[in-house]
Structure 1
Amino acid sequence: MSLELEQIHEDMLNAIHDRYQKTLGFPAYDFTRAFALAVLSLDGDVEVAERRLNVENLTGQELDLFIFQHRGLSRRYATYATATLRVVTGSGTIQAGALFSTASGVEFYATTDGSYTEGDTFPVRAYLAGESGNVEAGTITYMPVAIAGIAAVTNDAPATGGYDEESDDELRERYYNDLRNPNNGGNQQAYIAWALSVPGVGRVRIFPQALGANTVEVCIVDATMEAADSSLISQVQELIDPNNNGDGAGEAPIGAVATVTTAAEVAISASATIVLAEEADLGTVTEAVKTNLTEYLREIAFAEGTTYVSYAQLSSVVSSTEGVLDQSGLQVNGGSVNIPLTDRQVPVLGEVSLTT
């Protein structure tokens, strides 16, 4: 409904008997004009209220509130990546809050106080939440502020556990999924909903009685659609069946022994000969191809009905990447056929080699 001020006012004046003077400056005109303005304002409020009844029109906190009130679902917040640093050279005291970073400027800070010498390790946490903190091994080597006695540090393993906040679209899709697949407290959808409520969980598959009678295997991948780390697995286990014995201490009903596992990664490597567009750079195009292939693999990873990685789709992704005019001889894991996936496997991008 959308009303116009003049039309509202005219309708009001038409409802008044013609024996009254209804022109500008007379009481009938002035009083109805004021009421028309109030009705127009109320119409705007009604239109806003109507829009808020449709979850597709909501964003941010309004979306959070609507979904929580209707389904009890909360947005999954962003999490911070963590890592372990090793003192490579020197010895000294490192206080909680001491900064370390990568060459690209991804910052971490020490989470504990301690005195360390060469070979000792200590925990650090990403300064900013999100996937940006999941840096590779050997990259956290800079100290923005010098630490007396400590000359060099490094991370021998990648930083993990950083996940972006659930987007509006992702939260809305989880809401729709919950509507389409009701959670009765013990069916497969219940276990899926519990697992997905944990920040960092991307997708879930349930395998009833996989480990024997009265057992449930909850197989998860993380938000990057890769194998979940031990910390994320433990968080989901703690929520669903913390003692892993079906005692009902978690969300799972008494008698249901739930075990949380993660998928096995299947590396998908690709090589091809490409024809570059004019002025395109091979290095830049290769990175763009990697990004697009990663997006495709994340799209199909652990998705319902996915049983293979399509050779044709991979070829299409490479060909459609900006800067690629044509490609030939695409090899995927050394061949030119689809790559099969079992129920507990998830595809991740491996080595990508492009030549001209």
Structure 2
Amino acid sequence: MKKQIIIVFLLFLLFWGYLGTTTSLSSAFNQTSATKIELGRYLFYDTRLSYNGTKSCSSCHDPQFAFTDGYRTSAGADGYNVKRNAPSLLNSRYNLSLTWADSSIKSFESQMLFPLFNEHPKELGWKLNEQQIIRQIESVEFYRILFHKAFPKIQKPITLQNIITAIAKFEDQLVAFGSVYDDYLRGNKKAMNQTAIKGMQLFYSEKLGCGNCHRLTDKPILNKFYNTGLYNIGEEGDYPTADQGLFESTKNSFDKGKFRVPSLRNVMITAPYTHDGTVANIADMIDIYQRGGRFIQDGENRGDGKLNRNKSKLINGFSISQQEKLSLIAFLSCLTDTSFMQQKKILNPFN
């Protein structure tokens, strides 16, 4: 009997020790993860991440514009503009595809390679300048300290891969579900006024069908790519040759003009709209959908997008009164959430 008690006691000590070890490991892991996020925050806002010290990730994804930049298309470090509008990074962790026109890019890590290494234009200019930029980061003492804390098992932790990993960890924290609409969904039925509620009903109605494409959820989104009739150059179904959308990665002619459906969260503070930023305001955007496609009368892009043969069958146009349009805009305004601007942990640490 005594022998059995001793065995049970020893097993208890082993189990207790195991719990203590796993708790310590968990605590160490959490601390390391938090340090990676903090490191990623510094890197995200640091212009030393560009070859000439002029641009950072936040140059195109500024929290003041809900992590967009307010321009039609962003300028790279070399001064030349990229071909697409900068999408918001807020809630991007829920997107299963992360770019305007390549459905294969499904992680922050893979997406980041484009702004780092693109050459035409040089967004951050890492091509042929990687070692120079790494040395810039290595020369900063607090980076040497942070990298060693974030990657304690690596002797020389300041590497391209670890830079990408840290920024991805930071971007994963960019979440905002504190809008008036979210408050309404959580049960506060007084959060939205009657005009906005009418707009919400229109948004989800069969007549407008906005909710068929634009998901307002906090769950992972299987992103769709559609041609919405923005162009129909020469009435041949073409988009501008500089940007043919999903077609550029699939080479399938039916994918010409297809772009990822954007989030409408914070839509009222992320103008201009569409993949190329050519729609200046929300009223004009609604007009295009109301018509069933955009008509461009003059210039090299002239054509009737409504007749684009690749246009999604979901874009059929609709009839809407001025009051209904105002109600819809009132609802879209309820999707604004700037509460993240109070979260110091995601704002510029250099300010």
Q: TM-score, structure 2 length as denominator?
A: 0.26
**Higher strand content, 1 or 2:** 1
**Higher helix content, 1 or 2:** 2
